Amino acid sequence: MNKKRFVSTALVFALFFVMLLSTIYIIAETEHDCVGDNCPVCSQISQCENVINTVSSAVSIAAVAAVFAYILMAGTVKITSQKPASTLISLKVQLTE
């Protein structure tokens, strides 16, 4: 179980650093000397924007799925945590004629 937790934590940090470094690169190169249509810096900025958009979409979808799963689990826990209905057997009632 610890291996899965480590891998998931590493992936979260990797995604965070990719988004952070992409944002820093965009900020740093916003005022670059553009050479025109085939500017390599503009191409890299475009790729960074695509990465940020893709990752943010995936994160928001995962967050919605997590909230939905939490709501479903919370409803299940409430139903199962209620006291079961009393029956004659649970009350140990002996039926006699």
Whole-model pTM: value is 0.61
Assess contact for 81 and 41: CB atoms under 8 A.
Answer: no
Q: Is residue 89 part of a domain?
A: no
* Tally of domains within the chain: 1
SS3 annotation, 38-87: CCHHHHHHHHHHHHHHHHHHHHHHHHHHHHHHHHHHHHHHHHHHCCCCCC
Q: Is residue 76 part of a domain?
A: yes
Q: Which domain holds residue 59?
A: 2-81
40-69 pLDDT, tens digit per residue, is 999 999 999 999 998 888 888 988 998 988
Q: Is residue 26 part of a domain?
A: yes
State yes or no: pLDDT of 24 exceeds 90.
Answer: yes
* Cα–Cα separations (whole angstroms), residue 35 to 22, 29, 38, 49: 21, 13, 7, 20
Distance CA 63, CA 57 (A): 10
pLDDT at 44: 92
Q: Is residue 91 part of a domain?
A: no
Q: Is residue 7 part of a domain?
A: yes
Rounded to the nearest integer, the mean pLDDT of the chain is: 83
Look-up of token digits 């924007």: 49
**CA distance from start to end of the chain:** 58
Q: Is residue 22 part of a domain?
A: yes
Choose between 37 and 93: higher pLDDT.
37
Q: Is residue 33 part of a domain?
A: yes
